[in-house]
Chain A
Amino acid sequence: MSAVDPEPVPSLDDALEGEAVLGVYRQMFAALARDGGAVVDDPELVDVAETLLAAFADAGEDGLSREQMRYVCRRYPAEVFENRLRVLKGLGAVREVFPKPNQLRYRASFTSVVGLMFVRRMMLDGGQSEMHRLLALEQLNVADPRMTPAQARAGAEGLARAFRLWSVELLTLTNGTIEELREQAPKLWGADEILAGAERLHGAILRRWPELDRTCTELRAALYAYGDASRRAAARLSDSAGLTRNLTLLPPETWRTFARTASRDELAAVLDGFVFDAPAPWHEPSAVVAAVADAPRAVPVRPAPPRPSGPDPGLADRADAGTADADRLREVAEQALRGRDRADVADLLDGDWPAARRLLADLSSAHLHPALPYRLVWGDGLAARPGAAPSWVSPGVFERTDR
């Protein structure tokens, strides 16, 4: 690299120039500096700097003495104040009125105040209103007859860079978690106005200096990228907005405008999916039983009484066990026999099959029941009876056995 573009030997002039630039930087961000090399880690420290700068503004050209400064900042602990003053002095935001030893009176730097104003504004809405201001300023600059093409190019390049970074940030948010996107929603507000302003500026630059078309192309691409990113982020937000009902996703003015200008159908669509005339709750009998069973009990559940250790004979030897079933089978059997001693099964099963098979099952049960005096006797052979039901039968007899 040195062969192509030999490193120029730094001269004292260069060093002086660099030092001047650094001085401006330092003064601008003195309010944010924790010490000579880092940013504050507590917002209160910035408040100290602001209080001081305000006091300096009131004091006029005489400046403030050290005791006056301490008095102004009496709300803050002494060590905090000392630390702030040392840092502000070190970075040139506060300096002696005359650069000589044992100086008692101090004055503040104008650059620091402007820097702090800028920082506060940035805090309010993440640099968005700053973007508006920059666009408006650039618009004025472009109309200014003293503007040179180089300045216009620098401005356009700066804007293109800012829009690129902004769209990258929005894309990251779009692909990140929805909570993060919601927090950063103010960054999406008014994207259309910013885009329109930027396009106006782009058109103005291109009309006045057609030779800057390359820079303008860059700017245009950055603008389109920003437009896409903000649309995607907004779409993701509005997709999830229906679920959260978080009304702070949009500025209040937007809601008010929507409420005033929307048609009746659009307003009604907001409540799509809500049921106001909800159907009455249903209490299933089993649910009522379960609810009573789950009730908090007035008295604690008592444990079951102890069981005898011997074998439990159970209920089998009770006289009436199982008589209901036998009674029914007896009734069916007597109905089938109708006073006779034996009946032909094929005659009994005459009729439709659903009824016949129930009867057959009952007759079989009566046959198998040990206490009932009936039996089924089946003969050999198989009679096919096409068209009838049942369509085949074996010759069989149902008879009583007790006579």
Chain B
Amino acid sequence: MSDEWAPGILARARARVTGAVSVPAAEPVPPGLAAVPDGPRTWLLPSWPDGATPAVLEQYELAPMPLDRSGQARRVLAAALRCCWANLDDAPWPGVPAPVPAVLDVYAGMTRGDAALAGRWATGELRRLADTGWLVLDEARGVVRTGPRTALWPHEALGPLRDLLRRMPGPSREALGDE
């Protein structure tokens, strides 16, 4: 039964269930998936036809994938990008690893209120973003890096994001010196 399915369908189903998966770079990329190279491995991500992104859902007036506290998640992503996207003229992927405390510090500078509470919220968002492939989080080493999904961003849409990250204050010295 299973050999009736095309490898592309199986790969897409696996990608939807498990999220982003990385395979050795030598393996063939099934059709319908975008391959994002990452050193000796390759991330397989579901890609949209014709270079579209899920942002087209808005043009079709369809509800996007529901997301709890989307504003907070995106601010944490912006904080992580501020630390990991070192060379802004380059593409955000693959980025450089940055210590998690630096990201939390940038995020705390972006919000008001209790910094410890903001740090806990941001840690949860970091894990969620790492689950969905937007960041690569190494909790054992305490470093974070941009995720393979950022490689799917079209280049022409990155201008405002670059401007934002240039304006955004970076992590303080203590946060960088911590680790």
Contacts and interface: CB of A to CB of B under 8 A. Distances in A.
Interface of A: 277-292, 294-298
Nearest to B167: A292
Nearest to B16: A277
A281 B67 contact: yes
A280 B64 contact: no
Majority-rule SS of A interface residues:
loop
B166 to A, nearest CB: 12
A298 B168 CA distance: 13
Given A279-B46, A281-B67, 11 more contacts: A278-B65, A279-B54, A280-B134, A281-B65, A287-B55, A288-B74, A289-B160, A290-B74, A295-B111, A297-B112, A298-B112
B75 A291 contact: yes
A284 B110 contact: no
15 contacts: A278-B65, A279-B16, A281-B65, A282-B53, A282-B54, A282-B55, A283-B74, A284-B157, A287-B74, A288-B81, A289-B78, A291-B74, A292-B168, A296-B113, A298-B109
B176 interface: no
Interface string B138-177: 0000000000010001000110110010001000000000
B19 interface: yes
Nearest to B168: A292
B27 to A, nearest CB: 22
B95 to A, nearest CB: 15
A284 B55 contact: yes
Contacts of B65: 278-282
A8 B132 CA distance: 92
A282 B54 CA distance: 7
B29 interface: no
Given A281-B67, A285-B160, A291 B78 contact: yes
B51 interface: no
Interface in B35-81: 46, 53-55, 64-65, 67, 70-75, 77-78, 81
Contact of A294 (B67, B71, B112, B160): B71
B133 interface: yes
A286 B132 CA distance: 19
Contact of B164 (A282, A289, A296): A289
B143 to A, nearest CB: 21
Contacts of A285: 153, 157-158, 160-161
Given A288-B161, A298-B112, A280 B78 contact: no
Contact of B111 (A286, A288, A296): A296
A280 B17 CA distance: 10
Chain B CB within 10 Å, residue with most, of A284, A285, A295:
A285
Nearest to B58: A284
A290 B75 CA distance: 9
Contact of A283 (B13, B73, B109, B110): B73
Nearest to B20: A280
Contacts of A296: 111-113
Contact of B77 (A280, A283, A286): A283
A280 B133 contact: yes
Contact of A292 (B19, B75, B134, B153): B75
A360 B177 CA distance: 59
Contact of B132 (A280, A287, A294, A297): A280
